[in-house]
Amino acid sequence: MRVVDLFAGCGGLSLGFQNAGHDIVAAFEQWDTAINCYKENFHHPIIQFDLSDTDNAIERIKAYTPDMIIGGPPCQDFSQAGKRIEHDRAELTECYAKIIAGITPRCFVMENVDRTRKSQAYAKARSIFKEAGYGLTEIVLDASLCGTPQKRKRFICFGIKDKEDNFAFDAFTNRLSKKSMTLRDYFGDTLGFEYYYRHPRNYNRRAVFSIDEPAPTMRGVNRPVPKGYPGHKNDACPVNENLHVLSTSERALIQTFPADYKWIGSKTEVEQMIGNAVPVNLAQFIGNTVNEVMEEGNI
Ligand SMILES: C[S@@+](CC[C@H](N)C(=O)[O-])C[C@H]1O[C@@H](n2cnc3c(N)ncnc32)[C@H](O)[C@@H]1O
């Protein structure tokens, strides 16, 4: 199947689908730093394009004759704690749906944060998918049950043209692990630390984690332990000056990027791309499920 990845970022979703055997023929993205990073890691083209210009996007993407379109429109407006006002970025979810309806590939996969599901933008996108004739399987996946040592919940909408809704629900759930993957499960004893600090959004949340649990969601920022960190009753151990803080490359590995993935950009930009990405193993899990469903349905 010919696959096009939209809002491709540094390539987490692309790499997972490629690992699952899909032929990515092109990717589209607006941010030049992410484009430069993506180019270093793939052979197919990545096109710099503002996908909010849906009419022109449809023409450009159509030229690659995709059987499947995949993509994770930006999600900050859904994921910002406290402020759930939907703005321009949320509208890109609707743009994604308009692009699908304008091209009508055999199938598509859309990835986003779990609360997308209840957003107005997704309600609009959903009705565009339905009007275009897609059956939808909508599911929230916990990455730690999909081969990734990280509690990261992501909403997936998998659409196939002229199918009944929920066609892939069992295929997804049957593949889930019974137990969350911990950092020790994934890395063995190679990490060299037992506990680490992950800066919380606010001090109502804990910040110290053990490698015997899945990591919390890797976000787009990475900070050292601040001087005034007050501690939290659920921290896995008390904070001390020797407490490990995850490095950029450890965060990329927890996002299940391979160790030889090439990271291009400033430290801040790379941290952002890592936090934005779909964990490669979660993407591969989704890509494998798509294969299974397509094979079973002779599609
Ligand atoms: C959530 S990230 C995608 C991460 C990617 N799927 C991955 O796995 O690495 C969303 C991406 O959309 C890009 N983006 C934002 N607005 C855009 C636009 N108008 N057109 C194209 N890309 C855009 C951002 O630069 C960002 O890289």
The reported pLDDT for the residue numbered 217 is 95
The reported pLDDT for the residue numbered 108 is 98
The model's pTM: 0.95
- Judge whether residue 33 has pLDDT over 50: yes
Domain locations in the chain? 2-180+276-296
| Lowest-confidence segment of 82-91, 148-157, 158-167, 221-230 by average pLDDT | 82-91
- Judge whether residue 244 has pLDDT over 50: yes
- Judge whether residue 82 has pLDDT over 50: no
Q: Ligand 1: does its nearest atom lie under 6 Å from the Cβ of 6?
A: no
**Cβ atoms of 166 and 137 closer than 8 Å:** yes
Residue 239 Cα to ligand 1 middle (Å): 35
To the nearest whole number, what is the mean pLDDT of the chain?
A: 94
Paired strand residues for 250? none
Angle between helices 120-131 and 88-103 (to 10 degrees): 10
For residues 9-29, average pLDDT: 98
Residue 144 token pair: 């730690």
Angle between helices 12-19 and 280-296 (to 10 degrees): 50
The structure tokens 């798509």 sit at 290
For residues 61-66, average pLDDT: 98
pLDDT tens-digit readout, 193-222: 999 999 888 889 999 999 999 999 999 988
Phi and psi at residue 36, to the nearest 5°: -60, -40
Residue 74 Cα to ligand 1 middle (Å): 5
The reported pLDDT for the residue numbered 294 is 94
DSSP code for 215? B
Residue 89 token pair: 């970025």
75 assigned to active site: yes
Q: Which atom of ligand 1 is nearest to the CA of 51?
A: 20
Q: Percentage of residues in the chain with pLDDT exceeding 70?
A: 95
Q: Which of 10, 37, 75, 157 is catalytic?
A: 75
| Lowest-confidence segment of 117-121, 135-139, 170-174 by average pLDDT | 117-121
Question: How far apart are the C-alpha atoms of 242 and 161, rounded to whole Å?
Answer: 55
- Judge whether residue 80 has pLDDT over 80: no
The reported pLDDT for the residue numbered 76 is 61
Residue 6 Cα to ligand 1 middle (Å): 7
The reported pLDDT for the residue numbered 84 is 47
Question: Exposure string (b/e) for 160-171, b if CB count within 10 Å is 16 or more?
Answer: beebeeebbeeb
Helices (H), the chain: 12-19, 32-41, 54-62, 76-79, 88-103, 120-131, 169-175, 183-187, 248-254, 267-276, 280-296
Q: Which residues contact 72 (CB under 8 A, 6 or more apart)?
A: 7, 9, 13, 110, 111, 112, 278
- Judge whether residue 81 has pLDDT over 90: no
Q: Which atom of ligand 1 is nearest to the CA of 75?
A: 1
Residue 215 token pair: 């990591």
Q: Ligand 1: does its nearest atom lie under 6 Å from the Cβ of 50?
A: yes
Q: Which atom of ligand 1 is nearest to the CA of 16?
A: 8
The reported pLDDT for the residue numbered 224 is 87
2-180+276-296 is classed CATH 1.25.40.10: no
- Judge whether residue 265 has pLDDT over 80: yes
Q: Ligand 1: does its nearest atom lie under 6 Å from the Cβ of 278?
A: yes
For residues 122-127, average pLDDT: 96
Residue 89 Cα to ligand 1 middle (Å): 10
Question: How far apart are the C-alpha atoms of 75 and 78, rounded to whole Å?
Answer: 5
The reported pLDDT for the residue numbered 87 is 55
Paired strand residues for 157? 110, 138
User: What is the residue-wise DSSP string for 129-195?
Assistant: HHHTTEEEEEEEEEGGGTT-SB--EEEEEEEEET--TTTTHHHHHHHS-SSPPPHHHHHTT-SS-SE
Q: Ligand 1: does its nearest atom lie under 6 Å from the Cβ of 66?
A: no
The reported pLDDT for the residue numbered 77 is 54
Mutating to test ligand 1, I would choose from 29, 93, 96 the residue with most ligand atoms within 8 A of its C-beta, which is 29
Q: Which residues contact 99 (CB under 8 A, 6 or more apart)?
A: 6, 51, 54, 57, 58, 61, 69
What pLDDT band is residue 88 in, cutting at 50, 70 and 90? low
